[in-house]
Every structure is written in C-alpha cells, then in structure tokens.
Structure 1
Amino acid sequence: MKKTLYFVLSVILLTHTACFKDPEVLYSGPAVVEFNAAIVAGAPVSFPTINVNNGAGDIFARVNLVGEQRPNDVTILYRVDPTRTTAVEGTHYQLLNKVGSNGSFVIPANRSTAECGVRILQSAPSPGNAVLLVLELLGTEDGSIKASENYKRLTYRIML
C-alpha cells in the first residue's frame, strides 16, 4: 500500500512539473548599439568614466548589438562628443579607422559584439592633471542600427 501511495504521488509530482511553459523571451525592438561598460552592474546613471594613462596606446571598449544579428559585416560610426571632451585630437588621442571626422569599427557577420578603439597618444606630462575624452556611438550610416540613447557614451579620463 505504501509503495502504491509513493508511486501515485511521484506520478502526480512529475506530471505537474512538466506542465510549466518555458517562456522564450526575445527582444523585438529596434536594433541598437551600446557600450558594454555602460550597462554593467554598478555603472553610474549617466555614463561610465575609465581612467587611462598618458601614452596608453590603442585601447578598446566592447560594444553590444542589441537586436537581431546581421548576416553581413556592419560598420558602426562613433564620434568624439565636442561639448564634453577636453582632450585634443592629435595631441591626446587619435580615432581609429576614420570615416570623415568620425571613427568606425565593424561588427562581424552573425556576431553581437565588437570593439570600439581609440589611440591614446603620449603628450606632455602634467602630474595631477587629466583631460576627458567622451566617445559617442552614432550607429550605421544608413540608420538601420541606431545608438542606444541611455548607453551610447563612454568617457576616458587621460591621466597626464
């Protein structure tokens, strides 16, 4: 009798747990790009600031594609925010892969991440001072992928 009761209870438990649906959560909004450093836990409300040394060379920040992956390579443009930046191009930094006055990088086909790079140049040392370089994602030239309004900026504080 005890074995039968255990068997019936086991069957009831197994059949009830098997009835839960597995919800598939998919993003259905427009495709956007965002700086990964801006979305990590503990990031500031506006946008993150990363300290880098004078003359650090090429540095890269991960960028996420939010939305459906593309079957072809996609070129994303970025710019230096002129109102927030105190660093001087050619003195403190250099954009990589320039397209006009903007920088660019490629998200490879069937991928959701890429690296946005900038070169930090060696400038005259000034201990205790720093300049700011604020990068802003623009998206694609044709507008098929836009920049996320909340996570499109990243600041490098160049320690002189």
Structure 2
Amino acid sequence: MKNFKFKIAIVAIIVATLSSCLVDDDVTDFGNGVNIIDFPSSSIDGTFDIGMEEAEFEVPARLVGGNGSAAPSDVAVTYEIDPTKTTAVEGTNFVILNNGTFTFPAGETETTFPIKILSSSLDPDLPVPLTIALKLTAATGNFPVGVSTKESTGTIIINLKPLCPITDDLSGTHSYTQTAMQVGDGEGTSTGNAISGTISGTVTWTEAAPGTGQEAGRVGKYSLDDASFGLYEQVYEDDPAVGPDGAFFTWVCREFLFSGSDQYADTFTYNIISVTGPVMVFTWRNTWGDGGTVTLTREGNVDWPEVFQTN
C-alpha cells in the first residue's frame, strides 16, 4: 500500500574567525588558532508550563576554531537582546540574568547559560510563539577569542511554547464515527477519491508512565491503538495504524501532537475543530495522504477538559 521515501539533509556550517572580540565574517582561517564563541543553531524551542510562575531556560553556546581544542581558560562573554527579532517583552515574559553576561568555562567546548522565563505570562491562544533573540557581542579571555557576527551563529532565536497544566487523564476507550474520508496518493495529499459512508468503532488511549515536572505527575502522552480510527481496516483491509514502536500523541494545551508512526513509517497530524462537552470533532491526515473527520465521544460521556471546550 505504501512506499518509503527518505530524505537526507546535509548541513554545512562555516564559521568565520578573527582575533578580535568581534569576529569579521570575511575571515575564515582556523589554522591561526583563533577561537570563537557562537550558538550551535539559529533557533531553539522551549516549552514552559503556564501553571508555573517562572522557569529557567538554558541557552546553549559553544567554542569553535582553535583547532578544535577546549578553552584553555575561562572566557567572559556578553550578549544583548536583538529587538528586531524579539516579540516577547522583557520584564513581562522573560528576564535576562547576570546583566547579559556568562562565563564559558575552561576545559570545555560546549556550555549553557540561563535566562528566566515568566511562564505564567505566556498565552497558549497566540497563533505563533513569542520569540527572544539573543545576540553575542564580545568575548574576553587569556587567549585569542571572539564571537561570531554571522546571523546564523551569532544570534539565537528562542521560541517560547506554552504548555498548559496537565491534571486530567484522557485515557479510556472512546467511541468514534468517521466521515469525509480520503485515500492518499503517497505524496501527502488526497487523490481526490473520497470514501463515502461512515465508520464507527472505538479507540483506546493509554497514558504513558507518569514523569516529573507536571502537576499530579501527568506527562500528557498517550498511546493509541489505531491512529487512523478504522480507516485502514475499512479501506485497505489492513491492520490498525500502529507502527512497531507504537503510535502516540502528546496533549499540548489545545493540541494533540503525534509521535511514533504507523506500520509504513507514516506520521499523522490531528487538527481539533470543536469540542462540546464529551464530544470532540477533529480532522486528521497522514504523510501518505489518507485522512478523515472524526467525531470522538469520551468514555462514559465525561466532558473533555475545559481547555478544549469551544462552546
């Protein structure tokens, strides 16, 4: 039914060096032993429980150049907020610690430094996450060292993704009906061959083992015994959509984020349309292009958590 497509992304990172505190992009000579402090990526996601007042987020930094050797002594590094790429508000959504300085320790090639996130200020209803952009400004040590001035390595954007407090268990055997089904074409879109009729059945959600950091020990991650809600059996006369390592979703505020795969290595996307009491309506699609609209009634006709309710 399915085929496999593999994509290999090769990323080449070229870091420029110079022997001053600010490193000129036009100079790329690692042979002279110059070291550079930079960020390992241009952006990073941070997830924060809005039920907590605040949290510290560790920002990664690294030392490159210098023939790959570790820092021979501590390096004092300074950074600043880039207001052109920052949408979060300092003092409301985050706080810069230590006056925008950190120490890169001797003997290391990687480290982190903290900033404070005021988690309770984050709004899960925002269509895109707030951002904090930090730009390296200078590095001082007892050896030739500087900071990258390239946008891709000298500035990092932190995406602030809110997590709602998880106190409810969504486990259970829930009833569903599925309509507006479609057969995929292998490219992630429908072939236009809609499937008429309605599928009815049940799906079992099982909560993953409790962890730490969430209220009541909830982690908000669930396995499900059929990611296609009966479509594979109805259309392909196939087994339920569950891969060898399982099919899962994670409850993130008002969303379900899929992880794992089906037996063909396809992944799924769920989009909640409406929730009224115990009835949830959502659409789904997989990377093969199959999809449908599911009306899911919670076991025992118990209302879904308030965060989902749309009426």
Output one character per residue of 1:42-101: Cα deviation in whole Å (capped at 9) or x when no partner. xxxxx2241432556111122111133443211111111111101111110011211xxx
Residue among 55, 65, 71 paired with 1:57: 55
**TM-score relative to the length of structure 1:** 0.64
Verify the 8 A CA contact 1:64 1:113 in the aligned structure 2.
yes
Report the AA paired with residue 135 of structure 1. Answer: L
Q: CA deviation at 1:110?
A: 2.6
Give the direction of change, closer, same or farther, for the CA distance of 1:70–1:48 in structure 2 (3 Å limit).
closer
CA distance in 2 between counterparts of 1:124 and 1:48 reads 21
**In the alignment, what sits opposite 1:88?**
89
Shift, 1:117, TM fit: 1.9
Aligned partner of residue 76 in structure 2, secondary structure: strand
Contact 2:37 2:145 (8 Å CA) reproduced: no
Instruction: Name stretches of at least 5 consecutive residues in structure 1 with no aligned partner.
Output: 1-25, 39-46
Task: Indicate the larger mover: 88-97 or 121-130.
Answer: 121-130
The residue correspondences of 1:108-127 to structure 2 (distance < 5 A) are: 108-127=105-124
Whether the aligned pair in 2 keeps the contact of 1:32 and 1:148 (CA below 8 Å) is no
Task: Specify whether residues 76 and 125 from structure 1 end up closer, same or farther in structure 2 by C-alpha distance, changes over 3 A only.
Answer: closer
**What letter is aligned with 2:38?**
E
What is the root-mean-square deviation in Å for CA atoms of aligned residues? 2.6
Q: What SS is found at the alignment partner of 1:151?
A: helix
Cα deviations by residue, 1:81-140 (Å, 9 ceiling, x for unpaired): 111101111110011211xxxx11111123222213211113435332131111112231
Alpha-carbon shift at residue 141 of structure 1 (Å): 5.5
Unaligned runs of 5+ in 2: 1-28, 163-311
User: CA–CA distance in 2 between the matches of 1:139 and 1:116?
Assistant: 15
Question: 1: CA distance between counterparts of 2:136 and 2:77?
Answer: 8
Aligned-residue sequence identity (percent) comes to: 25
TM-score (normalised: structure 2)? 0.35
User: Which letter maps to 1:134?
Assistant: A
Distance 1:83 1:113, change over 3 A: same
AA matched with 1:86: T
Name whichever of 47-56 and 89-98 sits farther off: 47-56
- Equivalences for residues 1-160 of structure 1 within 5 A: 27-28=30-31, 30-36=34-40, 38=41, 47-53=42-48, 54=50, 57-68=55-66, 69-98=70-99, 103-129=100-126, 130-140=129-139, 144-149=145-150, 150-159=152-161
Matched AA of 2:130: V
Contact 2:74 2:104 in 1 (8 A): yes
